[in-house]
Amino acid sequence: MKNGFARFTRKLMGFAKSLGVALILLSAGQALADDSVVLQLRWVHQFQFAGYYAALEKGYYAAAGLDVEIRAAGPNKPTPLEELTKGNAHYGVGNSGLVVAYQQGAPVVALAAIFQRSPNVWLTLEASHLITPLDLAGKRLMMTPSVENAELLSLLAMEGIARDRLNIVPSSFDIDDLITGRVDAFNAYATNEPYLLEQLGIAYRIIDPHDYGIDFYSDVLFTTEDELLRHPQRVAAFQAASLKGWDYAMAHPEEIVDLIRQRYNPEKSRDHLLFEATTIRTIMQPDLIQIGHMNPLRWQRIADTFVRQGMNTPARPLDGFLYDPAPKPVAAWLIYALVAALVVIGIAVLITGFMHRANRSLLAAKRSLQSSEYRLNMALVAAKQGWFDVDLRSGKVAVSPEYLRMIGHAAAELETDVTSWMARVHDEDRPGVREAFDACIASGGPTTLAYRRQTKTGDWKWIESVGKIIEWDDAHRATRMIGVHTDITERKRLEAEILDLALHDHLTGLPNRSLLAERLGQAIAASKRTGRYGAALFLDLDNFKPLNDEHGHDIGDLLLIEVARRLKSCIREIDTAARFGGDEFVLVLGELNEDVDTATIEALQVAQKIGAALAAPYVLTASGDGRGRTLEYHCTASIGVALFGNDRVDRSSILSRADSAMYLAKHAGGGRVQLVVPDGR
C-alpha cells in the first residue's frame, strides 16, 4: 500500500511538472501573439464608456502591449454578444443578460461589472400620476422585451402584473413618444433621458427597479472562453488597463468629457455628458466599491431571477462564467492536504445536519427581513416619502433616491453634510429647524417639524421631517439619527386655500368679518404705538335692495363684485376693504397723520373718492336663464367715518361709531359722508 501510494504521488508530481512546462510554452507563444484587439461597445460614443477611452488615450492599453480599436454600436446594429461569438470582436460591454447567454451555452466570461447597479428605469411624466410599478398595469410601455431589460420586467412581475396585462410597444428609442403621449412609460437610462426632459422643463418620475430590491449589474466587460484559453495574459492585461482607465475617468470627468467631444464626435452636448458622468458616479459608487467588483452570490441571484421570470432554463452552472485573474497552480502540498481533508470531511458530516437546520432558519429570517424592507420601501415611494440617516459624529447625511427626486437633485449634486443641508432651508424656517434638530438630539424621542426646502430649480417645497435617535456612544451622546422626509407642499397649499376660504367672502374675495376684526385690531395697536391716527369707514349701498327685488340675486351679486373691485382700487396696500354682510362694507385706513385735523382731511378724501367711484354707472350682464341680458344701474353709498388714535377704544366701539355715522348719512338722504372723530366732534 505504501509503495503504491508513493508511485501514485510520483506520477502526480510528474504530471504537474509536465503541465508546468506546457504552461511556460503557452505563455511564450502568447507573448508572440498578435495583440491587436477590438472592443465592441453596446451603444454610441458617450460617457457610459469613459474608462475605455481613458485607457486608450492615456496609454494604458499601449503600456500593456495592446493595440485596441473601440467600436460603437447603436439602434438596429449587432449586439456585442453577437459580434464576439462571430469572431468580429475580442471584448465587449454587455449587461446582466450575459448570465443567461452563458447558462444556455454561449462561450462568454464576465471580466468586470463596471456599473454596480443597472441604470435601466421606467420613466413617466409627472402629469400622468404613474408613481409605482402597479400603476403601469395595462398602460402602454415602450421597451424592447428581451433579457436586455429583464430588471424592468422582473419589477412588474414582482408586483403581480402578469405578462398578458402588459401592453408593450416596441422601442423607437425616441423620448418624444413619451412627451407626446404615444406611450405612458418609457424604458430609459437614468444617465440619459432624464436630462432631455429637464432641458425641456418637463416634470417626470423615475420608477427604478433598484428601489424595489431588484439589484442587477450593468455594463459588464466580457470576453470569450476561446480568448481566455488562447491568450490568458492578454485578457489579464486588457482587464487591468480598462479598470485603470475607469479609475482615471472617475477622477477626471470633465477632462474625459472634453476628450470624448474632441475625438469621438458624440451626439450629446458637453452639459449632457457631464450630467451622464454625475449620474454614472452614483451607479458605480467608486468611493465605496472597487471598480469592476463582482460578487458570485449576487450573480447567482441574478441568474435565479431570470429563471423565475421564464427567461432562462439553465443548462450549466456558473462555475466558468466569472473571470479569476489569478488562478491557483496545483502544488505538491495539495496532495497531502487531500488526505487530511478526508479526516476533516468525516467530522464535517457530523455537523452538517445542524448547520443545515441553522442555515434554513437564517435564510427564512433573511427573506422575512428583505420582504419587510421591500414593503417599507414600496410604502415610502407610494407616499412620496424619503428616508434620511445622519451620522452625528461626522455630520454626514445619507438619503434615499425618492428624497433626491423629491428635491430634483442627483446624488452627486447634493451636499451630504448637515451644514449644507441647513443652508438650503428657508431663512425664516432655519432657526426653528435648528432648534428642533438639537431638541431631537437632546431628547432622543421622535421630533416632527415642517419647513421650506429649496429644490434644484430654486423653487421652495414644504417638507415634513420626522427624526429619531437610534444610537448612542458609551457616554450616552447621540451618534445616529434616522427618519423620513415627506413632501407636504400640496397639503400646505390646500391648508392655505381652506384658511383663505375661512377668512374671505366667497363672492367678492374680500376679507370677511373674522379677518376684518384681526386687521382692525392690528391697526388700533399700530396707532397707539406710532401716534398716527387711523380710520374705519362703514358704508351701505343706498339702493341695492330694489335691484335684487326686481332683477334677482344674480344681478345683485354682479353689482357686489364690482363694488368690491372699485373699493380695492381706491385704497392703499396697507389698508383693508372687507365685506361686513349683505350690501355693507367696512374699510380700515392705517398710518394717517399724527395731527387729528390733517388725519381727518385724509380720511374724508378717501371716503369721498370711494363715494364718487361707487356712484359711477354699473353695466351688468346677466348669466344663467337671463344670459346675455345687459343692465345699466346707478347706485350710491352712505359712508360713516370714525377716526381712532390715542383714545382708549376697542374694535367694537370704533365700528359702532362708524356705523352710527353711516346711518346719519343715510337719514340725511344718502350718497354722502358723515364723520366722527375721537373726541366726539
Q: Quote the crossing angle between the two packed helices 150-158 and 296-308, to the nearest 10°.
A: 70
Q: In the chain, pLDDT over 70 holds for what percent of residues?
A: 83
The Cα 455–Cα 461 span in angstroms is 7
C-alpha torsion 304→308→310→312, nearest 10: 10
The Cα 94–Cα 106 span in angstroms is 13
The Cα 293–Cα 80 span in angstroms is 21
Say which amino acid occupies 497. E
Does residue 39 carry a pLDDT above 50? yes
Say which amino acid occupies 99. V
Residue-range domain boundaries for the chain: 1-32, 34-117+217-308, 120-212, 331-381, 383-494, 504-676
pLDDT at 75: 82
Place 667 in a pLDDT band, splitting at 50, 70 and 90: very high
DSSP H/E element including 38: strand 36-40
Does residue 206 carry a pLDDT above 50? yes
Instruction: Output the CATH code of domain 383-494.
Output: 3.30.450.20
Q: Which of 145-154, 272-281, 464-473, 629-638 has the lowest mean pLDDT?
A: 145-154
Pick the CATH number of 34-117+217-308 from 3.40.50.720, 3.30.590.20, 2.40.40.20, 3.40.190.10: 3.40.190.10
pLDDT at 514: 87
Q: Quote the crossing angle between the two packed helices 513-530 and 651-667, to the nearest 10°.
A: 110
Cβ-contact 659, 642 below 8 angstroms:
no
Quick one: fold of 504-676?
Answer: Alpha-Beta Plaits (3.30.70)
Calculate mean pLDDT across residues 657-680.
Answer: 86
pLDDT at 144: 77
- Encode pLDDT of 75-131 as tens digits: 888 999 999 999 999 999 999 989 999 998 999 999 999 999 999 999 999 999 898
The Cα 153–Cα 175 span in angstroms is 20
Q: Which CATH superfamily is domain 120-212 in?
A: Periplasmic binding protein-like II (3.40.190.10)
- Encode pLDDT of 496-532 as tens digits: 777 777 788 989 999 998 899 999 999 999 998 899 9
Place 601 in a pLDDT band, splitting at 50, 70 and 90: very high
pLDDT at 575: 95
* Residues paired with residue 425 on neighbouring β-strands, in sequence order: 453
Tell me which residue has cell 370714525: 642
pLDDT at 454: 87
Q: How many residues does the chain have?
A: 681
What are the grid coordinates assigned to 28, written together? 511564450
Does residue 561 carry a pLDDT above 90? yes
Cβ-contact 547, 555 below 8 angstroms:
yes
Q: For the residues of 346-398, what is the DSSP string, one character each?
A: HHHHHHHHHHHHHHHHHHHHHHHHHHHHHHHHHHHHHTTEEEEEEETTTTEEE
Q: Same topology for domains 34-117+217-308 and 120-212, yes or no?
A: yes
Q: For the residues of 164-189, what is the DSSP string, one character each?
A: GG-EEEE--S-THHHHTTS-SEEEEE
The Cα 300–Cα 311 span in angstroms is 15
The Cα 468–Cα 445 span in angstroms is 6
Does residue 20 carry a pLDDT above 90? no
Give, in order, the Cα–Cα distances in Å from 54 to each of 117, 243, 251, 456: 22, 10, 11, 31
- Encode pLDDT of 231-255 as tens digits: 999 999 999 999 999 999 999 999 9
Long-range contacts: 77-80, Cβ < 8 Å, 24+? 79/42, 80/40, 80/41, 80/42, 80/222
Calculate mean pLDDT across residues 570-583.
Answer: 92
C-alpha 659, offset from chain centre:
57
